């Protein structure tokens, strides 16, 4: 399997002298579903934001299909096929569902836009039922679906999501996760940041555990789920909570 995304010895942070990521190595293969786990403050969001071009890189490399992208601004990374769904402010609340999709489609050549919007409406029937509804009036789960639809409009090489389950009820989380599972089954490579260890390892085939800005574990989900040392040391509270 070829790597879609490859991060090597990546250091990055919000200020020049303060590295939050301290030499991260991570590869995501074509068609894979990888979950990024770790305690609060480990640097999960910082890692995906750095990959998306939103946090300054101090050193190391980020490659998309073998091409170095760490020098590119965020909008050009998007053009290269890297779609990122931030944790918040990922839709335009005052605009309708259709307008949100139309805006996201602006990046595509004009003739391709209508077809991609129609494809998203087909993938997300819940959104297709009410294209004129203002995004701000949708439920939390539907908003996340719209954010994912906006990201998918370019038919990306890789879809990166920063905790789309944050603040959602368990029912909504399972709806969003079911949809992500479908999207992955149709061939989209996914890298997901998730706080809930059990839910993350259930949906992804591989887990990467970040601790203090470094990769502490990188293993198939089954192995991480059953590794008591990993559960106690790094996933501790979350794992116990999830099993309670
Ligand atoms: N905009 C920012 N400016 C400066 N420091 C930041 C910023 N965002 C995050 N940090 C710091 O970076 C470190 C890593 O935070 P990050 O949000 O990446 O961790 P995380 O693993 O995603 O945690 P959580 O699960 O709590 O979201 C923390 O020390 C945090 O205080």
Please give the distance, rounded to the nearest whole angstrom, from the Cα atom of residue 42 to the centre of ligand 1: 7
Instruction: Judge if the beta carbon of residue 238 lies within 6 A of ligand 1.
Output: no
Three-state DSSP state, 124: coil
The residues, any chain, with a CB within 8 Å of residue 32's CB and separated by 6 or more, are 1, 4, 189, 190, 205, 206
Three-state DSSP state, 215: strand
Please give the distance, rounded to the nearest whole angstrom, from the Cα atom of residue 41 to the centre of ligand 1: 5
pLDDT (mean) for 62-81: 95
Choose among 106, 78, 81: nearest CA to 92.
Answer: 106
Instruction: Judge if the beta carbon of residue 196 lies within 6 A of ligand 1.
Output: no
Residue nearest to atom 3 of ligand 1 (CA): 14
Please give the distance, rounded to the nearest whole angstrom, from the Cα atom of residue 123 to the centre of ligand 1: 33
CA angle, residues 48, 61, 42, in degrees to nearest 5: 35
Task: Name beta bridge partners: 85.
Answer: 161
Q: Report the percentage of the chain scoring pLDDT > 70.
A: 93
- List the beta strands (DSSP E) in the chain: 3-12, 21-29, 33-37, 57-64, 67-68, 82-85, 158-162, 189-193, 206-211, 214-220
Q: What is the pLDDT of residue 235?
A: 59
Over its C-alpha atoms, the chain yields an Rg (Å, rounded) of: 18
Q: ipTM surpassing 0.85, yes or no?
A: yes
Instruction: Judge if the beta carbon of residue 200 lies within 6 A of ligand 1.
Output: no
pLDDT tens, 155-210? 999 999 999 999 888 888 998 999 999 999 999 999 999 988 888 999 999 999 99
Instruction: Judge if the beta carbon of residue 46 lies within 6 A of ligand 1.
Output: yes
Q: What's the CA gap between 73 and 120, in Å, rounded?
A: 26
Q: What's the CA gap between 196 and 38, in Å, rounded?
A: 10
Q: What's the CA gap between 94 and 87, in Å, rounded?
A: 18
Q: What is the pLDDT of residue 207?
A: 96
Q: What's the CA gap between 131 and 214, in Å, rounded?
A: 43
Q: What's the CA gap between 193 and 45, in Å, rounded?
A: 7
Atom of ligand 1 nearest to the CA of 43: 18
Domains of the chain by start residue, with CATH = 3-81+158-243 (3.40.50.300), 88-155 (no CATH)
pLDDT tens, 79-94? 999 999 999 888 999 9
- In testing the pocket of ligand 1, which one of 42, 56, 89, 195 has its CB within 8 Å of the most ligand atoms? 42
Average pLDDT value for the chain: 91
């Amino acid at each position: 399997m070829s790597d879609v995304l490859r991060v090597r010895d990546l250091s990055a942070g919000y200020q020049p002298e303060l590295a939050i990521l301290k030499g991260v190595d991570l590869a995501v293969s074509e068609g894979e579903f990888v979950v990024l786990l770790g305690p609060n403050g480990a640097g999960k969001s910082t890692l995906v934001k750095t990959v998306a071009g939103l946090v300054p890189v101090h050193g190391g490399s980020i490659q998309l299909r073998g091409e170095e992208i760490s020098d590119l601004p965020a909008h050009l990374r998007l053009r290269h096929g890297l779609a990122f769904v931030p944790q918040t402010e990922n839709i335009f609340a005052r605009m309708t569902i259709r307008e949100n999709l139309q805006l996201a489609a602006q990046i595509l050549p004009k003739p391709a836009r209508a077809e991609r919007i129609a494809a998203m409406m087909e993938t997300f029937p819940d959104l297709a039922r009410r294209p004129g509804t203002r995004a701000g009036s949708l439920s939390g789960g539907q908003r996340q679906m719209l954010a994912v639809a906006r990201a998918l409009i370019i038919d990306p090489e890789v879809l990166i999501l920063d905790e789309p389950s944050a603040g959602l009820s368990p029912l909504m989380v399972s709806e969003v996760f079911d949809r992500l599972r479908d999207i992955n089954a149709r061939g989209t490579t996914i890298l997901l940041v998730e706080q809930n260890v059990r839910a993350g390892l259930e949906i992804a085939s591989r887990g990467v555990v970040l601790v203090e800005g470094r990769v502490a574990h990188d293993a198939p989900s089954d192995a991480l789920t059953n590794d008591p040392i990993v559960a106690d040391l790094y996933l501790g509270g979350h794992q116990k909570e999830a099993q309670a």
